[in-house]
Amino acid sequence: MAKAARRASWIRVRPEGLHVEPGGFHVDPTRAVDRAIITHGHADHARPGHGAVAATAETLAIMRVRYGEMPFKSSQALRFGEKITINGVTVSLMPAGHVLGSAQVVLEYRGERVVVSGDYKRRPDLTCTGFEPVPCDVFITEATFGLPVFRHPEDRHEIATLMHSHALFPERCHVIGTYSLGKAQRLISLIR
C-alpha cells in the first residue's frame, strides 16, 4: 500500500498545470511555460505563449490557425508511438480519439509509466484516429462526462432523429449547437 502512495511522485500540480519535474516540462499547462506537451487543439488544453511545444502535427497546425503563425517559440511534431527523451523522461503520444490530432501523453521515468489522457473518446469517429488503451502504472484522466448519470445516446439514433425532422420540415432551418473543433466535423461525417 505504501508503494502505491509514492507512485508518480515526480509529477506535481502547479499553478501553471501538470508539471513533470525531472523533465522540466508541463502537460497542457494553463499558463505560458518554457516547455509544454499539448494533448490536443481545444483552447482549454492548447494555449499560446509557450517556449517549446511538442504535440502531433495536427495539433500544432490547429494551434497556428487558432492563435496565429507563432503561438509558440519552437515546436516539435511527434507521430503516434514516436519516443523522445527530455531530461531523462521518455515521452510519446498515443491516439486519444477525441478530435483531429488528439493524443494521450505517455511518460516513462525510472521504470514507471504514467499516461495523461487529455480528453478522449472511445466511440468510433471517422474524423480522428481512434483511442488506444495504453498499459500504465498511473492513469491521469479528465472525466467531464465520467459520472454514471451521463448516458449519451447512440450516434446513429441522433442522426436518424435529425434526418427525420429534416424530412418532416424540409423548409425549416435546423439549428444544431456544436463545438467548432471536432464536434462539427464529426457531425458532418455522421450526416454524410
**pLDDT for the residue 144:** 77
| pLDDT tens sequence across 132-178 | 999 999 999 987 777 889 888 999 999 999 999 999 999 999 999 88
- Per-residue pLDDT at 56: 98
The CATH topology of domain 2-140 is Metallo-beta-lactamase; Chain A (3.60.15)
Q: How high is the pLDDT of residue 80? A: 98
**pLDDT for 171:** 96
- Residue 1: is its pLDDT beyond 60? no
Q: How much is the pLDDT for 147?
A: 82
- Give Cα separations from 91 to 3, 126, 190 (angstroms): 23, 26, 34
Which regions of the chain carry the CATH code 3.60.15.10?
A: 2-140
* pLDDT of 2 higher than 50: no
Q: Is residue 71 within 8 Å of residue 48, measured between CB atoms?
A: yes
**What per-residue confidence (pLDDT) applies to 6?**
59
Q: Residues in the chain, how many?
A: 192
Say whether 44 sits in a helix, a strand or coil: coil
